[in-house]
A and B are shown apart, each in its own frame.
Chain A
Amino acid sequence: MEGKPVLQRINELFATSKDVKTHRISNGSLILEIAYIATLVEETKLYDSIFVPFSRELKPFADIVHSDPSFKPVEDPATWTDLMLRGYVLLKMEQQMFAYYAAKVIRNTSPQTSVESSIEGPQVALSEDISDSTNIIRARYASPDLQIEEHTVGYLSKTQVIMMFDQRKADPEVVSLVKVKLLGIQTDILSAAGELAKALNDNRKRLFPMELITERVDRVTRGLANGKIVVIMQGSMFAIVLPITFFDLMVATEDRYENFWMSILLMSLRFFALILTTTLPALYIAIVSYNPELFRVQLAFSIAGSRAAVPYPSFVEVFIMLFMIEMLVEASVRLPKYIGSTATTVGGLILGQAAQQAGLVSSIMIIVTSVMAISNFVIPVYSLSLSVRFVKYPLILLSIFFGLAGVTCGVFYFVIYLCSQRSFGMPYFRLVLPGDRKHADIGEASLK
């Protein structure tokens, strides 16, 4: 702290900004130099804990500073800007620097689940403020084994990232891998959980999500109890749960809360929907253009009859309808809520009907398209349903050139691809039966 006075140095550290405040105040016995960024700091907190006690001096202010642990002594001048940008107030008193946390964080108040809604499950979602989220998780996972580590990611955004796991249950290999990945992230700005998840992954061109992004607290705590690692970040109300298997993405949290048989039924429904939404358009092309004899005669005739007015091959028809449905889905996601429903009605009902009457597409094709679109929405995790939306296009291409054999080969390609994926070193696409934990696993030596 030699050379220039502290306040002058701080003023030089920042670009000319009006909200960087530096004051030098005195109450007769003590001189206090104080610096903070006014827009980041809760002013009432500042008055209550610094200005008022300082000027009144019911108790000597120096004693307060030395006795209250929330005034942290700061040694290294290099951390000054960092602290101030995070909402700390810097104080200089008697040749010593202190930092006091008085940040004001703007966040969504009392968050409700909106993306993954559930009827009877917990309705509170994680918060955009990291300490609120930690609070919510801690309150629901009251275990002394919960280990919490803090990191900072992003050269400019300096986003706080918290990694938490149950130290008894989490796999130490995975923990150290995730730590290495977190430390190695090179980015200027980090603004969403999806971005963080992408950065944690080796392969940026991957097709399927290797981690679960969720806003639901019950998913997070369930994951912690199963030995998974949870990563949350400041400014996003979504947590990243990893490592996962493909089947974690197909489970809705409600499956655990509802009737056993109904959950089984819903689960099989979801897998059925997964198969339908990926293969149905491709199968339509393959069957109509290559092997109509696959269907029973009556059905084959009625499909051919409904296609009578359509002047071009089946794949053109499929492309028209897929183009329309993808546009509708995109439009309804981006539009404001009130217009969104109108757009879907106009598109779905009127355009579909009209396209069929105009002879652009067959009526069977409309059914195929809507079944495909609806079954896509059955998939409970959004990132997976996006991936699945993509999967049908390669299958369609294969079906155009190779018919049914092409579709089968395409499906098997994706099965191989899924099997070869690893989520943070752990197998991604495999069955884990209840009895498996008792026995040694295949390839256990290499997995660890």
Chain B
Amino acid sequence: MNRYFYYSFIMVAMLNLMLYVPTVLLNQRMSGAVSSLIVAVIIGTVVAYASTSALSRFPGMGLPEIMRLYLPEWIVKTLLPLFAFMWYFAATFALIGFTLLMNRVLTPDRPSWQLLLLLGALCAYGATRSTLTILFLLEMTMLLVTPLIFLMLFKAIRSPDVSWDAIFTIAQYINKYPTLSSVAAGTFIFTGYINTAIFNRANPPNFRLKGRWIIPVSGSTILLITFFLPIGFHGTMGVERYLYVWTATADSMTMTYGFIERVLFVFLLLYLGLSIVYTITGWNQAMEFLLSIRKDYRFKLDYSVAPKANWWICGSFFVLSLVALFFLNEKLDFQIAEIWLIVRMFLEIATVTFLFAVSMIRKKTA
């Protein structure tokens, strides 16, 4: 069903607004970020189109099953842990980043590991659930969260505090050449299609993804908002003074009528929900990749009692993330994020190229 793909796509796109993407982009706002945005939209759209059309040739199969069809077993066995690590890293990194942010803004007087204890336990519980459960969870979260986020983004754009002059000024730096890290950050907005690597297992045989124009339209809209709105609120130079630029941006908005004046809190809680669900999908897929290493593993889309192996894997994910928290701080986080965004982009493009090539072979033989 179409909508589940777009849930995952829009979730990832919206989530990145809070995380590292805006910081990386805004640091280079006068040295190539603007043109990078355009390149990122093109690359992101092409990769997303390629991966979705490739996967639609393999209905009911996830990435592990497709790899087993075409690659020798030892390559599969080395690649699957790598994929598992990629998914796990993305999810955990988002979770830890968001924990630090929440801790900084909501409960600055208590240690951040306490918050991670709660969030991590919840994510581990969620990640042990079946693939179908996670798809339903995606749907419900998006129903709960997106209307409010869109309302706030709309309010933000219409806010009289936005200085459009600042935005136009930065937009004029479009003549600078795009940079690698900005493009990598920009393409991360489009990376929601990657979740189909496992979720493709749930697709019915005659599945066709419709309405793919949503990918470039929503992706570029969110990307533009991510980049330009903070500039509008904080000015061309002031925007680099913040550690979490979108927290400050959300805090610049006020709701004039109502119980809650500061948008920030609502925004943070909505994004907390999003990042929980993002981590759950990430951990769940990492878990599925790890389970698929065994050749005779037969995946099940739905089970009412989670197998023990799920609990062991997700439990160790949780412990690992707690350990990681003690080594990470915000400064290190941002440094890792910049490198990781680039590595991830190339890995994803490589994966999608493989899938696309393989789907071409399948088309010829079929």
Contacts and interface: CB of A to CB of B under 8 A. Distances in A.
Q: Do A and B bind each other?
A: yes
Given A402-B118, A443-B131, A446-B301, A299 B259 contact: yes
A296 B107 contact: no
Contacts of A296: 258-261
Contacts of B102: 405
A419 interface: yes
A405 B60 CA distance: 37
B260 A431 contact: no
A430 B206 contact: no
Interface string A368-407: 0000000000000000000000000000001000111110
Given A290-B107, A419-B133, A405 B262 contact: no
Nearest to B302: A446
Contacts of B107: 290, 402-403, 405
B61 interface: no
B315 to A, nearest CB: 16
The CB with the most chain A CB atoms within 10 A, among B135, B136, B300, is that of B136
Interface string A219-260: 000000000000000000000000000000000000000000
Contact of B136 (A293, A403, A429): A429
Interface residues of B, number: 49
Interface stretch (B187-195, B269-277, B332-340, B347-355): B269-277
B269 A404 contact: yes
A442 interface: yes
Interface stretch (A98-106, A187-195, A410-418): A410-418
B137 A416 contact: yes
B110 to A, nearest CB: 9
A49 interface: no
Interface in A407-448: 408-409, 411-413, 415-416, 418-420, 422, 427, 429-431, 436, 439-447
Nearest to A202: B304
Interface residues of A, number: 41
Given A294-B262, A431-B139, A406 B129 contact: no
B132 interface: yes
Contact of B265 (A398, A404, A446): A404
Contact of A441 (B1, B265, B272, B273): B1
Nearest to A294: B265
B60 to A, nearest CB: 7
A245 to B, nearest CB: 10
Interface stretch (B160-168, B197-205, B215-223): B197-205
A445 B204 contact: yes
B141 interface: yes
A279 to B, nearest CB: 11
Contacts of A416: 122, 125-126, 129, 133, 137, 280
B130 A420 contact: yes
A291 interface: yes
Contact of A440 (B106, B135, B204): B204
A299 B258 CA distance: 10
Interface in B258-312: 258-262, 265, 269, 272-273, 276-277, 280, 300-302, 304
A398 B205 CA distance: 43
Contacts of A294: 260, 262, 265
B115 interface: yes
Nearest to A407: B269
Nearest to A403: B107
B119 interface: yes
Given A402-B118, A427-B132, A445-B60, A439 B1 contact: yes
B143 interface: yes
Contacts of B276: 409, 412
A255 B114 CA distance: 45
A155 interface: no
B132 A446 contact: yes
Interface string B93-135: 0000000001000110000001100110010011001111111
A409 B302 contact: no
A427 B131 CA distance: 12
7 contacts: A405-B106, A413-B122, A415-B137, A422-B304, A440-B207, A442-B132, A443-B132
Given A405-B269, A415-B144, 13 more contacts: A203-B304, A290-B106, A299-B259, A406-B118, A419-B140, A422-B304, A427-B136, A440-B206, A441-B1, A442-B4, A442-B135, A445-B60, A447-B132
Interface of A: 202-203, 290-291, 293-297, 299, 398, 402-406, 408-409, 411-413, 415-416, 418-420, 422, 427, 429-431, 436, 439-447
Interface of B: 1, 4, 60, 102, 106-107, 114-115, 118-119, 122, 125-126, 129-137, 139-141, 143-144, 202-207, 258-262, 265, 269, 272-273, 276-277, 280, 300-302, 304
